[in-house]
């Protein structure tokens, strides 16, 4: 879903080739200051809903709770909610978060991630802004963890697995180019012979390259 009214990306929900899906019309106005993309997925004998959202000023649950509660099949809700609350480890409550927590505690949904930060500001502070929620009826079969690599973004990927879908782990190489450039500049500013210099640069690249399992 393309972003309207301001620069930047939008929302994307990718579906593998061995599954099918359709976009569910939401009818939400962009005046609600939130973007929502809902997709119904069909995989083997399973039907479920993935709701992808972005709320730059914080999710107002009053605008969307009836939509979230309207489905009779399992639902996953993922996104950047931009809410702070002690319920998921914050030391403060942001506007709109109390209403969201009240809805969540009285709904048929479970919050999957409630501890590890998902956002790292350039100042070094960290927050859990990207929430992952699923229907309580399937939560026993769902695992959630935050990737240790942010892939050079200010948000860390949140990985969700559902045991009935036979998840096959994938290995991805991640390279911290900013650290490589910084460390390489330090090496290049030293009086080092060419052979040793090449070895040191190779070591810098090696030290800042990781294989991440998703």
Same domain, 160 and 208: no
Asked whether residue 6 is domain-assigned, the answer is no
Same domain, 84 and 154: yes
Return mean pLDDT, the chain: 84
Same domain, 178 and 86: no
Average pLDDT over residues 94-108: 96
Same domain, 119 and 183: no
- Count: domains in the chain: 2
CATH of the domain at 111: 3.60.10.10
| Residues of the chain above pLDDT 70, percent | 88
Average pLDDT over residues 108-133: 84
Check pLDDT > 60 for residue 8.
Answer: no
Check pLDDT > 90 for residue 99.
Answer: yes
What pLDDT is stored for residue 51 in this prediction?
97
Same domain, 140 and 181: no
Same domain, 87 and 145: yes
Average pLDDT over residues 95-100: 95
Check pLDDT > 70 for residue 44.
Answer: yes
Asked whether residue 14 is domain-assigned, the answer is no
| Residues of the chain above pLDDT 90, percent | 39
Same domain, 131 and 42: yes
- Stated pTM of the model: 0.75
pLDDT (tens digit, 9 = 90+) per residue, 143-188?
988 877 666 677 778 888 888 876 666 676 777 777 888 888 887 8
Q: Which domain holds residue 184?
A: 173-213
Most confident range, picked from 6-15, 93-102, 166-175: 93-102
Structure confidence at residue 40 as a pLDDT band (50, 70, 90): very high
Same domain, 82 and 178: no
SS (H, E, C) the chain: CECCCCCCCECCCCCCCCCEEEEECCCCCHHHCCEEEEEEEEECCEEEEEEEEECCCCCCHHHHHHHHCCCCCCEEEEEECCCCCHHHCCCCCCCCHHHHHHHHHCCCEEECCCCCCCEECCCCCEECCEEEEEEHHHHHHEEEEECCCCCCCCECCEEEEEHHHCCCCCEEEEECHHHHHHHHHHHHCCCCCHHHHHHHHHHHHHHCEEEEEC
Asked whether residue 44 is domain-assigned, the answer is yes
Same domain, 76 and 156: yes
What pLDDT is stored for residue 167 in this prediction?
61
Asked whether residue 4 is domain-assigned, the answer is no
Same domain, 108 and 205: no
Asked whether residue 12 is domain-assigned, the answer is no
Same domain, 183 and 132: no
């Amino acid at each position: 879903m393309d972003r309207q009214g301001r620069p930047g990306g939008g929302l994307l929900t990718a579906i593998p080739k061995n599954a099918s899906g359709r976009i569910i019309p939401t009818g939400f106005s962009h005046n609600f200051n939130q973007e929502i993309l809902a997709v119904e997925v069909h995989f083997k004998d399973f039907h479920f809903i993935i709701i992808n959202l972005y709320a730059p000023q914080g999710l107002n649950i009053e605008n969307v709770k009836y939509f979230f509660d309207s489905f009779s099949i399992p639902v996953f809700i993922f996104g950047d909610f931009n809410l702070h609350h002690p319920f998921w480890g914050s030391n403060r409550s942001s506007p709109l978060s109390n209403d969201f927590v009240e809805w969540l505690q009285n709904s048929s949904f479970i919050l999957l991630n409630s501890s590890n930060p998902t956002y790292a500001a350039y100042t070094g502070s960290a927050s859990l802004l990207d929430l992952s929620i699923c229907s309580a009826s399937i939560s026993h079969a769902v695992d959630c963890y935050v990737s240790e690599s942010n892939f050079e973004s200010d948000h860390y990927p949140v990985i969700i697995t559902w045991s009935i879908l036979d998840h096959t782990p994938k290995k991805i190489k991640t390279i911290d180019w900013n650290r490589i450039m910084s460390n390489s500049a330090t090496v290049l500013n030293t009086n080092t012979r060419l052979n040793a210099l090449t070895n040191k640069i190779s070591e810098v690249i090696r030290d800042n390259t990781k294989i991440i399992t998703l």
